[in-house]
């Protein structure tokens, strides 16, 4: 373990995170008549009492001002068939075009959400906390939907992919 320069550490961190396989989420919200959606993996549950999640959002993203203004948001957990949506909302498309694929709808608070996601966590925005380039926003869940099937879309080593199960290792 040689001492790392800040620049080396940053590059190594990015390489190390390629090993950190996670389910892909799309964060969605609306603000001043505009819809926003962004793929994200820096998402975690925080507490089940009250039911809370967190999302880490770069302050340079298009969705940031909406979240920073306190917009309610939805965390849409993608299923294995939604890699196109992951790519669209991950930088392939911009603005309204991000809503061109997928069964998008609005909830009663006019928050856009993906009807056919594996799960939707509808969140009150409890505010952000700045750490370096990002803000950590806390979302207190006020409603959620889910599919029966357990079939997440993973992001690992720069690729979107389903979990493949060996036939003798199916999920219970």
List CB contacts of 87: < 8 A, sequence separation 6 or more.
39, 160
CA 155 to chain centre: 11
Report in angstroms how near the CB of residue 136 gets to a copy of itself at its nearest.
Answer: 6
Burial of 133 (0-12, 13-18, 19+ CB in 10 A): exposed
Secondary structure class of 14 (helix, strand, coil): helix
Report in angstroms how near the CB of residue 50 gets to a copy of itself at its nearest.
Answer: 5
Report in angstroms how near the CB of residue 77 gets to a copy of itself at its nearest.
Answer: 6
163 binds a copy of itself (CB under 8 A): yes
Residue 100 has phi, psi (to 5 degrees) of: -75, -25
168 binds a copy of itself (CB under 8 A): no
Question: CA-CA-CA-CA torsion for 127, 78, 48, 46, nearest 10 degrees?
Answer: -50
Question: CA-CA-CA-CA torsion for 22, 43, 17, 59, nearest 10 degrees?
Answer: 140
End-to-end CA distance of the chain: 41
C-alpha to C-alpha distance for 74 and 115, rounded to whole angstroms: 11
Report in angstroms how near the CB of residue 95 gets to a copy of itself at its nearest.
Answer: 25
Size of the site for a copy of itself (CB under 8 A): 68
Interface pattern 58-87 for a copy of itself (x via CB under 8 A): -------------------x----------
| Contacting a copy of itself within 91-150 (CB under 8 A) | 107-108, 118-119, 121, 129, 131-134, 136, 138, 141-147, 150
* Residues lying near a copy of itself in the complex (CB under 8 A): 1, 3-4, 6, 9-10, 12-23, 41-52, 54, 56, 77, 107-108, 118-119, 121, 129, 131-134, 136, 138, 141-147, 150-152, 154, 156-159, 161, 163-166, 169, 171-172
């Amino acid at each position: 373990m040689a001492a790392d320069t800040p620049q080396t550490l940053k590059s190594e961190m990015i390489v190390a995170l390629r090993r950190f396989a996670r389910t892909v989420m799309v964060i969605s919200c609306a603000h001043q008549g505009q819809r926003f959606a962004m793929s994200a993996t820096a998402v975690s549950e925080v507490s089940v009492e009250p039911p809370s999640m967190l999302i880490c959002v770069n302050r340079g993203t298009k969705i940031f001002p909406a979240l920073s203004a306190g917009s309610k948001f939805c965390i849409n957990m993608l299923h294995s068939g939604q890699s196109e949506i992951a790519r669209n909302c991950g930088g392939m498309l911009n603005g309204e075009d991000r809503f061109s694929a997928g069964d998008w709808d609005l909830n009663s608070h006019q928050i856009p959400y993906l009807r056919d996601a594996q799960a939707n966590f509808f969140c009150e925005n409890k505010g952000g906390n700045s750490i370096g380039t990002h803000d950590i926003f806390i979302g207190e869940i006020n409603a959620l939907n889910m599919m029966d099937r357990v079939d997440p879309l993973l992001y690992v080593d720069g690729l979107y992919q389903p979990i493949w199960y060996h036939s003798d290792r199916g999920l219970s």
